[in-house]
Amino acid sequence: MDRFLIVEDNKLMAEILAQILRKCTNPREIIKVSNVSTAQRALIDASDRIDAIFLDLNIENPLDGIELLSYIKKNLPKMPVAIITSESETEVVKKVLSHQPQDYLIKPLSVHKVQRSLEKFRATIRREVDKAQ
């Protein structure tokens, strides 16, 4: 797992996450996009070059990351996704988790949190491989 898509409208936060990913793994590619339409285009054009997605819950508008998460789950159901947010309100968390992301990261991000997500992503991929065999 070494190719990531970061969907984050805050350029500084996107760069922080990219730096953390570089510390946790040796990524071959990190694609950063800042809005829903660019993310969808990246998924259409480069889904074969993406191993996992880190998705901001409030990309351009409150909770619009849920719409993109639904799109991903419908069109790329095996793609690992971690939601990134400062939202910790119970109802929001329940709503997001009903769409089954692999992880839910509360800002501020840390190396430990990102490593945990990467482990969850790897476990998801292992389960998919086991199912296929």
Distance CA(58)–CA(94), nearest Å, equals: 16
**Residue matched to tokens 């996992």:** 52
Q: What is the pLDDT of residue 27?
A: 94
Under 8 Å between Cβ of 59 and 35: yes
For the segment 104-116, the average pLDDT, to the nearest whole number, is 95
Cα end-to-end distance, the chain, whole Å: 20
Q: What is the pTM of this model?
A: 0.93
Q: Determine what percent of the chain is predicted with pLDDT higher than 90.
A: 78
Is residue 7 scored above 90 in pLDDT? yes
Confidence of residue 105 (pLDDT cuts 50, 70, 90): very high
Q: What is the pLDDT of residue 25?
A: 93
Structure tokens at 80: 């690992």
Structure tokens at 118: 């990467």
Which spans in the chain are helix H?
Answer: 11-24, 36-46, 64-75, 90-97, 111-132
Confidence of residue 124 (pLDDT cuts 50, 70, 90): confident
Structure tokens at 73: 């789950």
pLDDT tens digits, one per residue of 20-74 = 999 999 999 999 999 999 999 999 898 888 999 999 999 988 889 999 999 999 9
Q: What is the pLDDT of residue 96?
A: 93
Secondary structure of residue 47 in the 3-state scheme: helix
Distance CA(123)–CA(100), nearest Å, equals: 14
